[in-house]
Chains A and B, each alone.
Chain A
Amino acid sequence: MNSFNTIWANGRGNLATWLLWGLAAVFVVYTFASGGYLIAVLQFALIYTVLVTGLNIFMGFTGQVSFGHNAFAAIGGYSSAVLTATYGWEPLPAGLVGLAGALLCALVIGYPVLRLRGHYLAMATLAIGLIVYEVAVQWQSVTQGYMGISGIAPIGIGRFTITSDRGLLVFLMIAAALALLSAAGIRRSRLGRAFVAAAGSEDAARALGIDVARYKLIAFMISAAYAAIAGSLFAHAVGFVSPEVFGLPMVVMSFTMLYVGGIGTIAGPALGAIIISVLPESFRTFKDYQDLAYGAALIVILIYAPRGLASLPELWARWRRRSA
């Protein structure tokens, strides 16, 4: 179900999806050539691609719910920020510490929390996100509270750092592509098949000998890892982190991207992230209305196109039938 093969490559869907890909490619090339502010927008979209891809593994493939992945992004982002800006570490080891921290937290939190279902699971994960936010606000000696941490060094290894906007863009493109490719690899592997089986029916999966609890935990940890990497990338790309960056709006925005692109598909996260990042930028005057627009868009999508752009061909076919 819900896999790359069945949704993105089925006959009628092709034209619309290739058109979208074409538009995305044209946009990327145009941005690269023209430079300026659009580059920052695209960088942002690529970072979110990594986060949403992780969310997709947990929610799309495994059929679970997490409202708390901003917690893992915050752990990654703050580890990178504190270790490089305050303690002068290299970006790579700092990011790895953040990754390890997020994995450890996901293991410790996931073990009890993933036994829950439905609204219990939703509320427990939401609470985790809020707790980490609270820690970021309160633990002022390390996180500097609401002020946030600025002056985070750009990404790089040793003396080789990426300082130019275009260089960073290429780097983030590679990172996002790796995220998507690894998600595709996971989806096709034994692991991915187990995830999808657990999403379909836990009882049936169990009957096939799949240790559902264990695979849910693995999916949770993998998606937490993506979130932590996205958090670290954000810290270095923007050079600034604060609790607000990793607040509840981040959760809603990542869900919007996931649903716009198409939950459960491989490429959906990238498409959703680019569209949701670019659209508000084309209406810059409405900056204040951004979260409002994300929320409203999410509601409309959930009601009318629950599988995102992937379901557009279907809607189109239905509309044609009705008007014919």
Chain B
Amino acid sequence: MFNLVAQSVLSGIGIGAVYGLIGIGFCVIYNASGIVNFAQGAFVMLGGMLTNVGMIKLGLPLPLAAIGAIAIVAMLGVVLERIVVRPLWNRGSTMFVMILATLAAQIVVERITQIMAGDQPRTLPVFTDLPPLRLFGFAINFQFLWILGCSALVIILLGLFFSSTKTGKAMRACSINRDAAALQGIRVSRMLALAFALSAALGAFAGILITPTQYTAFNVGVPFAISGFIAAIVGGFGRPLGAFAGGILLGVAQALAIVLLGAAFKNVAALSILLLFLFVRPTGLLGPAK
């Protein structure tokens, strides 16, 4: 029993890291603009789907297909920003209208995917096809190591980007005070587009990492987006590291709920965590970003 629980905690950490990446995607856009992008799940879904299409239809090897998919999704992020978010942003729409519009965009992307790719679930091969490692009596999948390694790498790169590149610093300036940033000559609207591209790429990457252990289909986006959103709230909205920690907490809680209470309790656990944090500590683990 102990072994089973420990094993599921491990897999929970893997899935949680993916939730964390999605949560960071929420934070990147939120910090640059104050917008909560409810179409985040579409990026996650498209990451897995496009990689699958690249491998099967075009016969590309996995790394190439994955890079291509991330690039395409990042561009779609900019497209979303241009045709949906930008007009509303310019008109000074309320946050609710922005949420509604991005949620509608999520549905549009979902349906287009369904029409073009069908509703059959698809999957990706695991990145390293070897039997699981045996450590202290636990079986550790290579995909788990890939997820942890890649997400750690992404977080380090993001940290470097925000702390030591000019563009990264400009984005941070926007998150602190948009008007002051504009006065310093930072093009706030360009930063917004960049934030959508970055966030979309993060989502796609998360989708590609998780797909080999599960599956992907046109409708997996919303559940992933909700998990990522919960991760962001648990971490304190707008704090990328907090979102990652929140994602891991959520993944472990879900894994424990599945093994101890049954598979049907997966979402109950996620929602309980969301409500718990919203009511008891709405500022999250690390406190608010600003």
Contacts and interface: CB of A to CB of B under 8 A. Distances in A.
Interface of A: 65, 67, 112, 115-116, 118-120, 122-124, 126-127, 130-131, 134, 138, 248-249, 252, 255, 288-289, 291-292, 294-296, 298-299, 302-303, 306
A295 B111 contact: yes
Interface stretch (B1-9, B96-104, B120-128, B156-164): B96-104
Given A298-B100, A306-B97, A124 B278 contact: yes
A258 B99 CA distance: 16
A66 to B, nearest CB: 10
B162 to A, nearest CB: 22
Contacts of A299: 84, 101, 104-105, 108
B87 interface: yes
Interface string B88-114: 100101011101110111111011100
Interface in B160-190: none
B111 A289 contact: yes
Interface of B: 36, 38, 84, 87-88, 91, 93, 95-97, 99-101, 103-108, 110-112, 115, 222-223, 226, 229, 233, 264, 267-268, 271, 274-275, 278-279, 282
B100 to A, nearest CB: 6
A122 B274 contact: no
Nearest to B114: A288
Contacts of B91: 303, 306
Contact of A112 (B101, B226, B279): B279
Contacts of B100: 255, 298, 302
A248 B271 contact: no
A249 B104 CA distance: 9
B230 to A, nearest CB: 8
Contact of B87 (A118, A295, A303): A303
Contact of B107 (A119, A248, A288, A303): A248
Contacts of A123: 36, 226, 229, 233, 274
Contacts of A292: 107-108, 111-112, 115
B271 A127 contact: yes
A124 B226 contact: no
A67 B278 CA distance: 17
Contacts of A303: 84, 87-88, 91, 101
Contacts of A249: 107
Contact of A248 (B96, B222, B233): B222
B212 to A, nearest CB: 25
A21 to B, nearest CB: 27
Given A299-B84, A302-B93, A124 B104 contact: no
User: Residue among A118, A127, A255 with the most chain B CB within 10 A?
Assistant: A127
A117 B36 CA distance: 13
A127 B115 contact: no
A127 B104 contact: no
B275 A298 contact: no
B233 A120 contact: yes
Nearest to A138: B264
A130 B97 contact: no
Nearest to B263: A138
17 contacts: A67-B103, A116-B278, A118-B95, A119-B99, A123-B226, A123-B274, A131-B267, A131-B268, A249-B107, A252-B107, A292-B112, A292-B115, A295-B107, A296-B108, A302-B100, A302-B104, A303-B101
B104 A130 contact: no
Contacts of A124: 274-275, 278
A144 to B, nearest CB: 16
